[in-house]
Amino acid sequence: MVDFEDNEPLEAVFQSSDPVRIRMAYDFLQQGGMEAFIFDGESSRLLGTTSAIEARVMVHADRAAEARYRLKELGFT
């Protein structure tokens, strides 16, 4: 379970309707030591489609620029 008591703001660094790309971006950041979260990952399924709502990879706002840079290096733009 994630503890959000510190109230650090989160920022989206990648979004996609492709669950494989979302998971790859998330795993890459996590394995690099960056705390990441997936938001809205199951929302589209509730609506009966996989493309209705894009999932977002979120990180702490103070690490967002670094996360975007790392993802861009791998072609996640």
- Residue 16: CATH number of its domain: 3.30.70
Q: pLDDT per residue over 25-68, tens digit each?
A: 999 999 999 999 999 876 655 655 556 688 999 999 999 999 99
pLDDT at position 64: 97
* Residue 50 within a domain: yes
Counting the structural domains of the chain, the total is: 1
Task: Please tell me whether residue 2 adopts helix, strand or coil conformation.
Answer: coil
Residue among 4, 2, 12 at smallest CA distance from 63: 12
Q: What is the mean pLDDT of residues 7-11?
A: 88
Per-residue pLDDT at 53: 82
User: What pLDDT was estimated at residue 1?
Assistant: 38
Please report the pLDDT score of residue 10 as a whole number. Answer: 95
Q: Which residues contact 43 (CB under 8 A, 6 or more apart)?
A: 52, 53, 55
Q: Determine, yes or no, domain membership for 5.
A: no
Q: What is the pLDDT of residue 76?
A: 82
